[in-house]
Amino acid sequence: MPVPPSRSLRSSLVVAACAALAACGTVDGVSHTIASAVTPYKVEVVQGNFVSKEQVDQLKPGMSRQQARELLGTPLVTSLFREDRWDYVFTLRRKGVEEQARRLTLWFRGDALDRFEGDPMPSEAEFVATIGAKPREARTPVLEASPEQLARATSKPAAAPAAPAPATPPTSYPPLEPAGR
């Protein structure tokens, strides 16, 4: 016949169960703290054609489609129903930096450029500066050595014990396959 559990064992099990249930309320807080400390890697997304201010300045009404394509590249969006309209769209998404989105639209009459309009475009130098901008403040290490550090670096290190001579390799090796073949 089994021995019934004692009252102290029952009460300790009840206390442990209550403590476990009470801890469930704090798990959300802990997991939220961990999730805010660990952020997933986000890929920088560059889509479309970057068109600089210098390129837009070279656009002139009357240019042929081929000249416009050579200057700006192939348009990101062309429509079968509106073959006289080309759209150049550019977006850049980086963590910690405001999203950049620019659009330029060209209209053609026949083979000649009729007109164009779009967002103000940055110069190439301005765009490179925004690409190179660090999203977060990075800590730059100190690149100067103190006199004590220089003295330690230039002093000769203590002689290390001589390493034993490497073992000579064997002159013959056992066969790879059994001799019975």
Residue 13 lies in a domain: no
Q: Is residue 14 a part of any domain in this protein?
A: no
Ranges of residues in the chain whose predicted pLDDT is under 70: 1-6, 18-39, 132-141, 156-162, 181
CA distance 121 to 75: 16
63 within a domain of the structure (yes/no): yes
Count of domains in the chain? Answer: 1
Max Cα-Cα span within the chain:
104
How confident is the model at residue 47, as a pLDDT? 80
**pLDDT at residue 117 in the model:** 92
- Report the CATH number that the domain containing residue 117 is assigned in CATH: 3.30.1450.10
In a domain, 122, yes or no: yes
Tell me if residue 34 falls in helix, strand or coil.
helix
Q: Does 88 map to a domain? A: yes
161, part of any domain: no
pLDDT tens digits for range 108-161: 999 999 999 999 888 888 888 877 655 555 566 677 888 888 888 877 666 666
- Report the pLDDT value the prediction gives residue 116, as an integer from 0 to 100: 93
On whether residue 116 sits in a domain, the answer given is yes
Give the Cα separation of 58 and 60 in Å (integer): 6
Report yes or no on 92 lying in a domain: yes
Q: Cα separation of 95 and 173, whole Å? A: 59
Domain that holds residue 116: 45-132
* Predicted local distance difference test score (pLDDT) of residue 20: 66
pLDDT score of 181: 58
